[in-house]
Amino acid sequence: MSEEVIKELILDGNHIHDIPWFYDEVNRIFMRGADFTLGPRLAVTIAFYWTKLEQPETASV
């Protein structure tokens, strides 16, 4: 039986002052190594991160 891997990702609230800063912090945590960043398109952003968190081996960037 395989072990469940749990990852903890922490957004630093000290880096978040408004919506643009929120996305800067989200991109810092989730988009390392990606050649693009995400912005305030909330529905698309939520769907992307949900997939990345639930199925990290299948979420591609």
- Model confidence at 2: pLDDT above 80: no
In the chain, the N- to C-terminal Cα span, in Å, equals: 29
Distances in Å between the Cα of 9 and the Cα atoms of 16, 20, 27, 33, 47 are 15, 19, 12, 16, 17
Would the pLDDT of 61 be above 60? no
Give yes or no for a contact between 38 and 20, defined as CB atoms under 8 angstroms apart.
no
Q: Is the pLDDT score of 57 beyond 70?
A: no
Q: How many domains does the chain fold into? A: 1
What pLDDT score was predicted for residue 39?
78
Chain segment 9-39, per-residue pLDDT in tens: 888 889 888 888 888 888 888 888 888 887 7
Domain that holds residue 35: 1-61
